[in-house]
Amino acid sequence: MTRTRTWAAAAVAALGLLAATAGPVAADAPARAAATVPWSVSLDTASAAGERWTEPTQYPSSPDLVVSGTLTNTGTGCYAVWTRFFRDFSAGPVTKRAELCGPGTAAVAARQRYDYLTTGYVTVCRGTADTSDCAPWTNITWWPIASR
């Protein structure tokens, strides 16, 4: 018990010393880059990956969820990235965010109002017309939700 208390006291003292000697933190791009959460999903020769974060809006309790990334295909088929957001138990539309036929890359971008009742998903599907042949939907609103 004494050893635990000694360790805890030393840790608290070290944190206090660190806080006292650290300079001010600038709101630079490197600090913002740390405030993102990665996401990824793949199907066959296509994969989509990127980052997500929230940005403040005029409504403090409802920031925007920003999803950014890249769809990559190494094969000859066509693929698309789709998102779907739910608010409480109400489903929003399935929305195509990027498509690509053949090898290459395409940008993926989405912006959605976010609050604690919002759940969002992303997937990659074969073809560009619908979501009938897709990878499992991946949650893009699981915690942590990072802020910029």
3-state secondary structure of 17: helix
Q: In a 10 Å sphere around its CB, with 0-12 CB exposed, 13-18 middle and 19+ buried, how is residue 4 labelled? A: exposed
Confidence of residue 59 (pLDDT cuts 50, 70, 90): confident
What is the model's pLDDT at position 78?
98
| The pair of three-digit structure tokens given for residue 25, joined into one six-digit string | 């933190």
Query: What is the pLDDT averaged over residues 68-79?
Result: 98
In sequence order, the 6+-apart residues with CB closer than 8 A to the CB of 79 are 43, 44, 45, 46, 71, 73, 99, 100, 101, 124, 125, 126, 127, 128
Distances (CA, A) of 121 to 4, 60, 102: 43, 23, 25
What is the model's pLDDT at position 101?
98
- Quick: pLDDT tens for 9-33: 444 344 343 333 333 333 444 444 4
Q: What angle do CA 30, 31, 33 make, to 5 degrees?
A: 65
With beta carbons less than 8 A apart as the criterion, state whether 95 and 83 touch: yes
Closest CA to 59 of 109, 113, 111, 112: 113
The amino acid sitting at 12 is V
Confidence of residue 146 (pLDDT cuts 50, 70, 90): low
- Quick: pLDDT tens for 81-130: 999 999 988 999 999 999 999 999 999 999 999 988 999 999 999 999 99
Strand partners, 47: 42, 72
Determine the distance from the C-alpha atom of residue 79 to the mean position of all C-alpha atoms in its chain, rounded to a whole number: 20
Instruction: Give the range with max mean pLDDT: 23-37, 51-65, 128-142.
Output: 128-142
What global pTM score does this model have? Answer: 0.75
